[in-house]
Amino acid sequence: MVRTREFDMDAAVDAAIGVFWRKGYAATSIQDLVEATGVGRGSLYAAFGSKAGLHEAALIRYAERSAAEAGARLERAAPPREVLRDLLVSMVEATVLDPERRGCLITNTATERLPHDRVAARVVGDALDGNATSIAAVLRRARERGELPPGADVTAMADLLVTTIQGLRVQGKAGADRRRLLAVVDLVLSGLFVKD
């Protein structure tokens, strides 16, 4: 008879996100994960294979949620500059309103685990590429509306905005205040868009 799993995998992954996000991969012990999830060590290993396996599941879940939230912002029927500013401001707010200043789990993983962890590199790379693709679609719309120069390289611009987002999260994690971060947002956007 096959033994059924006696815990909620989704709840365990959600709890693991919180631990990895707060402590980082290296500083998180299996015991930390046992305590956070309420799942025994043996059951965690049986379900995820290792701490790295649980980290991968947590990172993928975090990336999917982040992409869904960003996608909802980027798909709004508003002027492209407003849509992009809203996305960037949401990143600032997520950072400065977090009392722990955890930053972004994707960014934190990139700085801690890459380039040596190939699995994390794939998840991080996919997340950043997905963000760039979604942002590029908004920039193409802006170019079609004449809000960007006709020959604007929307791929490079999207990469610049993804890089800006990651930088905002790092600066915010390091303690930069809202005013400083919003000044960066406005400066970057003013450099991209055609003046009114």
Query: Cβ contacts of residue 72 below 8 Å, gap of 6+?
Result: none
The domains located in the chain, with CATH, are 60-192 (1.10.357.10)
Contact 75, 149 (CB under 8 A): no
pTM (2 d.p.): 0.91
Cα–Cα distance between 41 and 92 in angstroms, integer?
37
Contact 130, 50 (CB under 8 A): no
Contact 32, 15 (CB under 8 A): no
Cα–Cα distance between 24 and 27 in angstroms, integer?
6
Cα–Cα distance between 35 and 57 in angstroms, integer?
18
Cα–Cα distance between 73 and 20 in angstroms, integer?
26
Cα–Cα distance between 18 and 20 in angstroms, integer?
6
In tens digits, what is the pLDDT along the chain, a chain of 196 residues?
A: 444 457 789 999 999 999 999 999 999 999 999 999 999 999 999 999 999 999 999 999 999 999 999 999 999 999 999 999 999 999 999 999 999 999 999 999 999 999 999 999 999 999 999 999 999 999 999 999 999 998 999 999 999 999 999 999 999 999 999 999 999 999 999 999 976 5
